[in-house]
Every structure is written in structure tokens, then in C-alpha cells.
A and B are shown apart, each in its own frame.
Chain A
Amino acid sequence: MRTDNVITVGLGELAISEDPSDVLTAFGLGSCLGIGAYAPAIGVGGLLHAMLPEYSKKEDRLAPKYVDSGLLQLIKELEAKGAVREQLHINMVGAANMIEMQGVPNQLKIGERNLEVAYRILNELGLKIQNEETGGTIGRTTRLYVETGAMTVRAMGKPERPIGQSIPEPA
């Protein structure tokens, strides 16, 4: 039996893989948004771990740090591998608001804003979301299994399970 090869996708990173033993993993997504895209016909998948909603004007070494620029890069890199955009399976996990405080500066609503930007960009690209577990106030780990394209979610103290098996919390 082969062993899973865990590829950690850190904060502000993007990973693409066509190796069926790879499991692209973003640990402990809080307000960050994990976006998985999978091309079933060619068995190539990508996972984005974006931290902030929109690319700032200044030059930045990390495009995947942002939902908008990261998402465009994710799709572009998958297309470069031969993926057909319309056939991509898109799943999203994360974008929680970890902290609910009174009189908090709105900078803390980063989760919500990450999600809004993701919806807008996906809509502009004509892409549909297959499943998502986003919002709420809990952290989540997500994994994309390159062999099957399955995406999973795990919250603290809970077992890992396929995404979308429960009703996603409202954003």
C-alpha cells in the first residue's frame, strides 16, 4: 500500500500536483480561505491558502497571499497543465470569523471579506462551487487528495470527513 505524501500548503501559498500520492493540506484555516480546484480528466489538483481578500497595489512577492490574485494564479497554473476551466471542481473551506468582539475594528472581518471576493472572482470566471464549508467561528484543516480530487474538512476534536456532508454554515 502506498503512503500519502502530505504537502503542507502554508499561509499565502499555492500548491499544484499531478502526483496521485500527494495530499495537499492547509492546516488550521481560520479567517484564511482554502480553495481547491481539481481537473478530473487529467488528475491534476491545486490548493490555495489565501490570507487577505485583495491584492494590494504595491508590488508583492506573494500573489497567493490574496484571494483575488491567488485564485487567478491557481486557475492559470492548472490550465498550463492542460486543465479545462469549465470542468474544474471547485471547493472552499475556511473564512471563519474567529473572534467576535464588541467594538472591533472591521479589519477583523477578514473571513467575510475573503469569501465575498472569492464569490465575485469565481462568478467573473464563470466557475461554480461544488461544495463549501465556510464562515462560522471555527478553525478547519482541509485536504485535497490528488488521486481522487476528494476534498475533506476537519475541525478541532472532530474526525476528518468529506466536505459538504453537513449543511455549510451561512457566510
Chain B
Amino acid sequence: MNEMENTSEMQPFMEIVAHEGLNNAAKGFGSMVGTPFKVSASEVSTVPVEEIPFLAGGPENEIVGIYLHAEGDVAGQILLMFPVEKALELVDLLMEQPEGTTQELDTMARSALAEVGNLVGSFFLNSVASLTGLDTRPSPPAIVVDMVAALLSMVTATCATMGDEALMIKGDFSQIDRGTQLQFWVMPDPDTLGKINEKLN
């Protein structure tokens, strides 16, 4: 898996991808919800895969994940994570209901969240496609409500089939006057990094 050797020389470019992609995704998210969001933190790092399950807090904490695959020349995993109460609030916002109306994530609520995943993922990938000139598109999203570690172990296992380390793009989206609302992670497949590197050279 020589592709990972490229990650240090690719770091500056991946930071540009992260910056533009995350800001575009936050813009898309804000326009969907009807209130502006900013990227309050972003990071590009290479981590040993077995550390991934510990990067989002207590392993047994309940979390809502929206999971997508990027497919095409640029491939990888995309994950949006919300604490459960934030996901419920978001569904109320999207469905124009008073806050507190949604008490559980039923089929309707899940489908609203899937729309969020679709839109935010597409905004991110549009930036990636225009920066790299490579083709990419999102898969239909899946919604997972479970323990943090259980959700992330699946993401980790998928990374681990391709290498011992994974390059991660992480961003926090926040409302101007409130705390973090969602975490947005992108883990490109190692092959994809090779393709981007070829294109850059």
C-alpha cells in the first residue's frame, strides 16, 4: 500500500480540499436548514486505523450517523455524526415543526436525515471534483443509530481492509451562537489518494 507514503507530500493539497469541501458542505447544510453554519474546526491527519473508534467520545455513547460512500475516481467513506438530541432538533427544523416534536427517529425522520446526508455529501464532493478534475458521486445514505464504537468499528474495518493507516478529513459544523451541531468526516480510499497524486503531478 504505497499510496500512503504520498500522504505527507499531499498534505497541503488535502488541506485545500478539506477547507473548500467542508466550507461548501457547511454552506449546503445551512441553506437546507435555513440558518447559517460555519466550519468551527477542521483537520487533515493520518491515523492508525485502530484509533478511529476513539476519536468521537465515549464508546458506548448513543450517536446518530449518516453514512455514505463516495464512488468514482474519488472513492471513500463519508460520515456525519450528531448526538441524538441534535438529530431530533434537526428533523424538527427540516420538517418545520416546533422544537421537541420529534421524539424518535421513525422512517420519516430517517428519510429527512438521509436527505441531509445526500445534500451535504454532494456539496463536499462537488468541491473535490472541481479541485481535482476527477469524477465522484455519493451513494444513497444509510442512517445508523447506535453506540459510537459500533458505528465507527464498521468504518474502521472498511479502512483496515485497505491499509494500517487512514487519512482523515474532520470538520465540526457550528451555528454562530451555539456549539457544535455535527461532525463531518471523510476518509478517502488509499487508491484515491494515488489517483489524486498522479493528477497533481
The answer to whether the Cβ of B33 comes within 8 Å of any Cβ in the partner chain is no
List A3-35 residues whose CB lies under 8 Å from chain B: 10-12, 27-32
Q: Are A27 and B60 in contact (CB under 8 A)?
A: yes
Q: Are B146 and A30 in contact (CB under 8 A)?
A: yes
Contact among A104, A141, A157 with B69 in the assembled complex (CB-CB below 8 Å): A104
Q: Are A156 and B62 in contact (CB under 8 A)?
A: yes
Q: Could you say which of B3-11, B20-28, B151-159 contacts chain A?
A: B151-159
Q: Are A28 and B158 in contact (CB under 8 A)?
A: no
A10 surroundings in chain B (CB, below 8 A):
50, 53-54
Interface size on A, residues (CB 8 A): 33
Q: Are B151 and A98 in contact (CB under 8 A)?
A: yes
Chain B, 60-100, contact with A by CB distance < 8 Å: what is the 0/1 string? 10100001010000000000000000000000000000000
Helix, strand, loop or mixed for chain A's interface? loop
Q: Could you say which of A76-84, A105-113, A121-129 contacts chain B?
A: A105-113
Q: Are A102 and B62 in contact (CB under 8 A)?
A: no
The residue of chain B having its C-beta at the shortest distance from the C-beta of A12 within the complex is: B50
Q: Are A32 and B62 in contact (CB under 8 A)?
A: no
Contact among B53, B147, B152, B157 with A110 in the assembled complex (CB-CB below 8 Å): B157
Which B residues lie at the A interface, using CB under 8 A? 50, 53-54, 59-60, 62, 67, 69, 139-140, 142, 144-154, 156-158, 160-161, 164
Ordered by A's residue number, 25 sampled pairs between the chains whose C-beta atoms are within 8 Å are A10-B53, A10-B54, A12-B50, A27-B147, A28-B53, A28-B59, A28-B148, A28-B149, A29-B153, A51-B160, A65-B160, A98-B144, A98-B150, A98-B153, A101-B69, A101-B140, A101-B142, A103-B140, A107-B161, A108-B154, A108-B158, A110-B158, A139-B147, A139-B150, A141-B59
